[in-house]
Structure 1
């Protein structure tokens, strides 16, 4: 994700990898709070790894405790454990229903270049399986692949890019497992409305985070220049770049592109998305001129 905002320092580079593939980096120099791109410092790998290790130890300890209790030789009495009834299907307008409807149209994007692989997200916009993502993910890549919710990896063609708006359009072969998302209207976006950000932060594909629209016309540095952006407090991290920001009607209202961080860290609740009207207009122009 490119970063943005006046007076908060220089943006950091757009490349990043999933936490599992990172090596520790040297301590960052002390700088004022800055808007940072999708660099994932080595500490992300250490934090995520520690979390997974703790979960494994806890599960193992619980299993041993249960075995010893069960093997004590004491006669167990009859007990009845009450379980909840199966949950009803989530209403179409609920956040659960929105996530179910949207995930099949979201992909992870992998773009190797210079010995590293930039990773991000994207989403399908039509029945020809054109995919919107960020230009900073695919710029200079030797090849691009996308992975859908079905886990299948597909080779993608870069149809075209617009660096000034940080928008790129990809295309893959049609598949019943990839569904086009409905694009909303920027004029209908309201401060305070609920939104979901869907993508692959730190390589964790299909991650859904929730929040609200914090501002609709925030000035942010996108594609190398100041432009208006939708601000949200939905958690956005390295790897969310290019993914959709959707409303409670499962309509895409923005393309997640930038975050504000302290010293290159992760989300602090200030993320920016390209308004969907602008992103869609750029994508339509790219598609029409590529024919």
Structure 2
């Protein structure tokens, strides 16, 4: 790893899902080999402490049609005995995929249902440059949607799904009660894979995430913040995997309550065009803050 590399903070917006990888036969690894690999990783990681952080673009790309039922979840109990599969079964109907058409392509983000008649919360950077918006519900239906209001300064937006009356609304918990070490569950559409579930813990609280006007400039969609100002918030940090396409999706606690809106990730390296993947450092807008913004909108 070069010392000139600049780590990247980025919006986990949509990206092309990777092609399927054929399974590889298991191989035996000698203990000495493992130790060598771990040592090399620690050395490379040591360089990261002196490198500056950058908040960058969403890295959105064209969306690919994928089954709405594609879901990956854990069926095992968490460290505190949480039945993750039971929580997921309860909350999955309240998570949607947000599809946007832009002047130069298409993109996919995520959202959480606030009311049975179709009010949905997502990130502003998911819909900021959209010419049309649709929502794919958990049951596979895709319906038209419109933007009701946005708050670029907090990177939140409220949209309305049209012609629905039977949606399952999510329940919000008190994000002020979240503690470091709490189990959390992230659900969204990374790479357009709707209904993907990842689990982890709260790694830290009150992490300041800021996107400057200069850092918002990118050839990729979902980077314009409307007024060209600065987006800044105190975030919940989690090691639950968050990737491009998770933007706007909910972060649940072990009781199935929304405690955050997934919005940004940290990546020490980025691919062509600024795309980046999860390294276990993700950020969510606290749920209490999100509810305040919704009331204002």
| TM-score (ref. length: structure 1) | 0.70
2:290 is paired with a residue of what secondary structure? helix
State the match for 1:120 in structure 2: 109
Q: Distance in 2 between matches of 1:245 and 1:145?
A: 22
**Match among 225, 247, 253 for residue 259 of structure 2:** 253
Q: Distance in 2 between matches of 1:15 and 1:229?
A: 17
Q: Return closer, same or farther for 1:129/1:93 CA change in 2, 3 Å cut-off.
A: farther
Q: Which runs of 5+ in 1 are unaligned?
A: 1-7, 22-30, 46-86, 287-291
Please report how far the alpha carbon of residue 215 of structure 1 lies from its aligned counterpart in structure 2 after TM superposition.
Answer: 1.1
Superposition pairs for residues 1-291 of structure 1, below 5 Å?
16-19=14-17, 34-39=54-59, 94-172=83-161, 173-176=163-166, 178-221=167-210, 224-264=230-270, 265-286=276-297
1:230 is paired with a residue of what secondary structure? strand
Q: Tell me which structure has the larger Cα radius of gyration.
A: 1
1:281 is paired with a residue of what secondary structure? helix
Q: Return closer, same or farther for 1:273/1:134 CA change in 2, 3 Å cut-off.
A: same
1:189-216, Cα deviation, whole Å (9 max, x unpaired)? 1110100000000010000000000112
Q: Distance in 2 between matches of 1:192 and 1:243?
A: 21
Q: Distance in 1 between matches of 2:12 and 2:181?
A: 29
Q: Distance in 1 between matches of 2:52 and 2:241?
A: 22
Q: Distance in 2 between matches of 1:161 and 1:129?
A: 16
Q: Distance in 2 between matches of 1:261 and 1:157?
A: 32
Q: Which moved more, 1:217-226 or 1:120-129?
A: 217-226
Q: Distance in 2 between matches of 1:98 and 1:14?
A: 24
Number of matched pairs: 223
Please report how far the alpha carbon of residue 219 of structure 1 lies from its aligned counterpart in structure 2 after TM superposition.
Answer: 1.1
Q: Distance in 2 between matches of 1:245 and 1:281?
A: 17
1:100 is paired with a residue of what secondary structure? helix
1:137 is paired with a residue of what secondary structure? helix
Q: Which runs of 5+ in 2 are unaligned?
A: 1-5, 20-50, 65-74, 76-80, 212-224, 271-275
Superposition misfits of 4+ residues, deviation over 6 angstroms: none
| TM-score (ref. length: structure 2) | 0.68
Q: Distance in 2 between matches of 1:283 and 1:33?
A: 30
